[in-house]
Amino acid sequence: MIDEKVDKILERIKYIEQRQEVRKRKCEDDEVYFVDVEVKSFEVDLQAISELICTRIDEQIVDSAALIDLVIQQQVKEDFRSAEMQIKDYTNKFQSELEALVWQRESKGGEAEKICSNLQVYQTRLSEYIEELDMLEKSLDELNKTKA
């Protein structure tokens, strides 16, 4: 059954080849002429095709890995920048609120407990943001170590 399919495929791939033939003559020079011959057989090196396919797949894997690596690096940098900006924004907000509280204390005087309470809340939040920044920095360092 497979042989029949191969024969059908080969029939579709038939081609004409010209072969040189020589007609010998006794008293004259030999006559050289070309004859059209139909060729049905076709050699296909499946091993070479298989190796070529594997090579192309390997090349695509390497290219894809390099692209993924680049995308991951960019995403990590972007995430780190975003976290850094959030912390800077929070620090600036904290600084302005701290300055406002100091001004209020100097101008109003007796709200020391409220100011201390607010400062403790802000100090706790600031500590949390600093810890988050440290974790992001460690993650970035680990990622860079795995790439190296």
**16 CB neighbour count, 10 Å cutoff:** 8
The predicted pLDDT at position 42 comes to: 57
pLDDT digits (tens, 9 = 90+) for 23-60: 887 777 888 888 888 776 656 667 877 888 899 999 99
* Tokens linked to 75: 């995403």
User: For residue 111, what pLDDT band results from cuts at 50, 70 and 90?
Assistant: low
Question: How far, in Å, are 6, 29, 97, 108 from residue 50 at the CA level?
Answer: 19, 51, 69, 85
38: phi > 0 → left, psi -120 to 50 → alpha, else beta; which?
Answer: beta
